[in-house]
Amino acid sequence: MDLPQKPTKTHDAAARISAVILLALVSLATVEGKRQCPTNYLQVPAINCRQHTAVLTDFGGVGDGVTSNTQAFRRAIEHLSPLAANGGAQLIVPPGKWLTGSFNLTSHFTLFVHKDATILASQDESEWPQVAILPSYGVGRDAPGGRYSSLIYGTNLTDVVITGNNGCKSSQLQVQLDYRDEVVCQSN
C-alpha cells in the first residue's frame, strides 16, 4: 500500500510562488467602477471629472465648417444646465470645424474642445444677440445701438472650465492686418 508522501521543500516553495503569482494576477484584474464614457474615442483622464457628459453631435451638431451649430450648442447647454448642480456637466466638442454664433455657459460646467476641433465664429449677425445698453457703457463703440455679445459668455457663473487638448477658437476675422492676414491658433 502506498502512503502519501510528505511534500518536499522544492514542492512547498513552488506552491508558495504559484500562490503569490495567482494573487498578483487577481489584483491586476480588479475592475474600477467608473461609468462608461459615451465617447470612447475621446478618453482623456482630465475630462472625467464631471458627473454628466454630452457630445455636441448628440444635439444635431455638424462639424463641417459650413453648417450653423448655434442651436446645437444652445440645446446641449440647455439640456446639461439642470444636471450641472448634481455633480457638474460637460459638453465635448469633437473633432471638426464647428461654426456657431454666441452661446451662454452655465455654472458647474466644462466645455471640452478636442485637439482636432475648431470653434468658428459665425459671420451671420442674426446669431449674435445684442447686449442691452447700460448707462455706464453708453452706446456701441462704433455705431449707435447696443453691442453684440461675446462668442462664449455667461453671467454670475461659478465653477466653469473651458479646456481641451489645445483645440482652437477662431473669430474668422475679415479684417486685413498689415503684418498678418489669417487667424492663427497657437499650440502649447
- For 66, list phi and psi in degrees, rounded to 5: -120, -45
Residue 54 has a pLDDT of 94
User: How far apart, in whole angstroms, are the C-alpha atoms of residue 4 and residue 136?
Assistant: 98
Question: Each residue of 71-107: pLDDT tens digit?
Answer: 999 999 999 999 988 989 999 999 999 999 999 999 9
Residue 164 has a pLDDT of 82
pLDDT averaged over consecutive 10-residue blocks of the chain (188 residues)?
A: 59 72 61 45 58 94 96 96 91 94 92 90 88 65 70 88 71 40 38
Backbone angle region of 125, left / alpha / beta, with phi > 0 → left and psi within -120 to 50 → alpha:
alpha
User: How far apart, in whole angstroms, are the C-alpha atoms of residue 184 and residue 50?
Assistant: 30
Backbone angle region of 178, left / alpha / beta, with phi > 0 → left and psi within -120 to 50 → alpha:
alpha
Q: What domains sit in the chain, N to C, each tagged with a CATH number?
A: 40-170 (2.160.20.10)
Q: Closest Cα to residue 47, out of 1, 93, 101? A: 93
H helical segments located in 46-180: 70-84
Helix (H, G, I), strand (E, B) or coil at 126: helix
